[in-house]
Amino acid sequence: EEEEEATLRELRIFLREICAKLARNRTFYIFTKPVDEEEVPDYREIIKEPMDLESMMTKIDKHEYECAQDFLHDIDLICTNALEYNPDRNPEDKVIRHRACTLRDTAYAYIKAEMDTDFEEKCRGIRDNR
Ligand SMILES: O=C(C1CCC1)N1C[C@@H]2C[C@H]3C[C@@H](O)[C@@H](O)[C@]2(C1)O3
């Protein structure tokens, strides 16, 4: 119905700002674009569902998120992909894993701080009844 569409429009505006704010943070630069298949030929043999912040911005515009929980599920995917593909004790892998955990924790903190729990509940109701 029309009120539900108004709620989802407001959700998309909110999620675009969260996504843009994360993408502006230079700590998260490595998460802003898909891993390049040519630079990393084995990546998609190991990581079955690649995800990145630019792809998430596109998913917002294609109405693929109906609540903040669904958005955070893709943030979690960016994080777990990075932990799984970069598991070693060498300093480069450790930096990537630290940044991945910081991305996840920052996204959860922004949404907790800036999203009304009643609004998220309303979005969950729309999602669960569709
Ligand atoms: O996992 C990632 C990205 C970090 C979060 C996503 N990559 C896999 C490669 C391993 C490591 C070093 C470079 O070879 C660079 O190409 C990548 C990109 O980082």
Expressed in angstroms and rounded, the spacing between residue 110 Cα and the centre of ligand 1 is 25
Expressed in angstroms and rounded, the spacing between residue 60 Cα and the centre of ligand 1 is 25
What pLDDT score was predicted for residue 14?
98
Pocket of ligand 1 (CB under 6 A): 30-31, 35, 39-40, 43, 82, 85-86, 96
- Helices 53-61 and 68-85: crossing angle in degrees, nearest 10, is 160
What pLDDT score was predicted for residue 83?
99
What is the C-alpha separation between 41 and 27, in angstroms, rounded? 24
> Residue whose CA is closest, atom 9 of ligand 1?
40
Residue ranges of alpha helices (H) inside 25-116 are 43-46, 53-61, 68-85, 91-114
Expressed in angstroms and rounded, the spacing between residue 35 Cα and the centre of ligand 1 is 7
pTM more than 0.90: yes
1: which DSSP letter? -
Amino acid at 46: I
pLDDT in tens, the chain (130 residues): 999 999 999 999 999 999 999 999 999 999 999 999 999 999 999 999 999 999 999 999 999 999 999 999 999 999 999 999 999 999 999 999 999 999 999 999 999 999 999 999 999 999 999 9
What is the C-alpha separation between 66 and 23, in angstroms, rounded? 21
> Residue whose CA is closest, atom 10 of ligand 1?
86
Expressed in angstroms and rounded, the spacing between residue 71 Cα and the centre of ligand 1 is 22
Asked whether 34 and 55 are in contact (CB, 8 A), the reply is yes
What pLDDT score was predicted for residue 87?
98
What is the C-alpha separation between 17 and 14, in angstroms, rounded? 5
What pLDDT score was predicted for residue 19?
99
Asked whether 123 and 8 are in contact (CB, 8 A), the reply is yes
Coil, strand or helix: which one is 42?
coil
